[in-house]
Amino acid sequence: MPTLTPPPAAAPAPPGRRRRPRTGGGIMPFASGRSYWWYLLPGLALITIIVLVPLVWNVYLSFTEYRGIIAPRWIGLDNWTRLFDDERFWMSFRNSIGMVVAMVVVPTLLGLVLAAALFDVVGRKFGGRLASFLRATYYLPQILPSVVAAIVIGWILRPENGALNTILDAVGLGFLANNWLGNPDTALLSIMVVLVWIQIGYPVVIFMAALQRVDPELYEAAELDGAGWFHRFRAITLPMIRPEVFVVALTCTIAALKVFGPVYALTGGGPNNATIVPSYYSYQQFFQSQQVGYGAAIATALTIVIVIVSIVFVWAQNRSERKEQEQ
Amino acid sequence: MTATADRPKAKALPKTKPRGRKRTVGDWIVLAFAILIAVMIVFPFIVILINSFKSPADYANGGPLTLPTGLYFDGIVNFWNRVDFPEKLWNSFFISGVVAILAVVVSVMNAFALGIGRVKGRIPLILVFLLANMLPQEVLLYPLYSIFRAVGLYDNVWAVIITFVVIQSAFGTYLLASVFGTFPKEVLEAAALDGAGRWRILWRVIVPISRPTLGVLMVFFFIWTWNEFLIPLTFLISNANQTVPVAISVLQGDRLMDVTTTSASALLGLIPTLIFFLIFQRTLTRGITAGAVK
């Protein structure tokens, strides 16, 4: 039965004052029932089987030679040293930089401009409904499965009689017509276009939500003072939504490092490895070359990169927040 | 991190009517730019739409940018029958629906222990959940493939369902743990005074009050799972088990797919998600901001 002494403040009750030390307190120390650990049991069991065990297993496989049939054979660091001399591996990460440009840099910059334009100009001068409508339009490609989005753009880029080549012809730029996905010089760029198209709506939505924290009076005052649009953007908008910029940049960078579907659907990493990315490379090693150990090393390397990137981002964010507070 | 879903205030743009303020030339230029970008984003959808209703001959004559001379449904019908589209729709729907429900249940239980129970070591635990959601799926792929083969779940939709319940609920746990951490304590106290145990309080008090947030999570889990590719591609190899994105992508470049059938395949791939978008538009815009705004 519950006792009537209200628990102290919001923080978890210190162990000494807990009424039921056996079952734990939390912010509801007085309710009877089984220990909270029982509630974690299914979740922890699942995450152990589906994530933790495979993760450790994959790291182990990266130190073995394994072709999927006979048991893995321990070969120490061989896969890892091979990785460092493997030009395709470095190529795949160089292409990842292209993915980061397409999924983080361009959408964030363009997203900032569009969000500010919708919020600051379209919303105020032409009505909130128009701004909402445009925002929804930008967001449209975001909800597509990335392979389907890739197929849509891939269809437009078809070499024979494709839509883009037809348009180029029609405006007198026919000499630019190209086998966009088949040419090593433009294949990566084509994949990047797919990703920009998919990604652009995400920062716009997040940034616009963030802008709602800004007091509209601030803009009006700045405008009355004769501050131009760009000035207002730099002095008010940007500092206001910096936390969201960090969140968008981090989540999109992680997503960019993981790109798989568009490469699988459009180029298969080709032509001539021009569009190979780490996730596709490891998939190839797992299921096409049967080099499971080597694929595991690539996947592990990708994981390490993602963890490092996340740590650096969080560190940078904390630092910038601290600086802000010091000012 | 807050459950914006619980705060109707933050969801829509300021509904103020355009004030009688003068619109400068600059304003019109900004508007034109915003509209131009919107047109560029919509353009691929329109191209796919008009070409899915053309015959290959019509396409050869008029090219990709003209309207069809007559409505031609063979491309769509051919592709529909060829991949047995209703079957793929059902597979996707079943997998995503089951994942959405189970992942929310698992997230709620985890978050109850972490956010309200504040069990010992909850910070490292939350980090583990966050990590599970961040990992590239490639790093789990081969071991999971081996596990599912060993237990006879390879090429079975349940392999995909279990995997995504874990991956999605990892995110859900992370989000809900902080939402539950700010749950009004008076409500919990009142329920406990009425003699309710923890199990009852969870399902009769916490879950109903958090329903808007849980609804947003469920919609997101559904759409995220629908859009997943790598894991369904690897674990569902027979035709009868494939999901919509997998079925559509494996037929690309097939010799029997003529140009307008390929367009039709893209159209069929994007229609379901467009429907979700129309149904859940508000939930979606509320939800994406829930993850980002502190």
Structure tokens given for A238: 């940007």
Residues composing chain A = 327
Query: CB-based contact (8 Å) between B28 and chain A?
Result: no
A227 pLDDT exceeds 50?
yes
Contacts (Cβ under 8 Å, ≥6 apart) of B232: B95, B160, B242, B243, B245, B246
- The backbone torsions φ and ψ at residue B17, rounded to the nearest 5 degrees and listed phi first, read -70, 155
Please give the pLDDT value at position A234.
83
pLDDT of residue A29: 62
- Which pLDDT band, with edges at 50, 70 and 90, does A47 fall under? very high
- Say if residue A308 is exposed, middle or buried (CB neighbours under 10 Å; 0-12, 13-18, 19+): exposed
What integer is the mean pLDDT of A24-49? 81
Tell if the CB–CB gap between B197 and A139 is shorter than 8 Å. Answer: no
Confidence of residue A53 (pLDDT cuts 50, 70, 90): very high
Chain B CB contacts of A136 below 8 Å: 281, 285
Q: pLDDT class for A13, splitting at 50, 70, 90?
A: very low
The share of chain A scoring above pLDDT 90, in percent, equals 49
Whole-complex ipTM:
0.85
Q: Please say whether the beta carbons of A102 and A196 come within 8 A.
A: yes
For residue A304, give the chain B residue with the closest CA: B135
Using the Cβ of B23 and the Cβ atoms of chain A, whether some distance falls under 8 Å is answered with: yes
CA angle B6, A40, A315 (to 5 degrees): 65
Sketch the domain layout of chain A as residue ranges.
90-326
For chain B, give every domain's residue range: 25-74, 85-250
pLDDT at position A54 is 96
Q: Which residues pair with A73 in a beta bridge?
A: A65
- Per-residue confidence band for A105, with pLDDT thresholds at 50, 70 and 90: very high
- State whether residue B63 sits within 8 Å of chain A by CB: yes
pLDDT for the residue numbered B10 = 41
Mean per-residue pLDDT of chain A: 85
What does the alpha-carbon distance between residue A62 and residue A54 come to, in Å, rounded to a whole number? 12
SS3 (DSSP) at A27: coil
3-state secondary structure B222-287: HHHHHHCCHHHHHHCCCHHHCCHHHHHHHCCCCCCCCHHHHHHHHHHHHHHHHHHHHHHHHHHHHH
Say whether domain B85-250 belongs to CATH 3.20.20.210: no
- CA neighbours closer than 13 Å in the CB half-sphere of residue A5: 9
Look at the domain A90-326 and name its fold.
Answer: MetI-like fold (1.10.3720)
Calculate the CA B119 to chain-centre distance: 31
Question: CA-CA distance, B114 to B117, in Å (whole number)?
Answer: 6
Q: Which residues of B touch A166 (CB under 8 A)?
A: 63-65
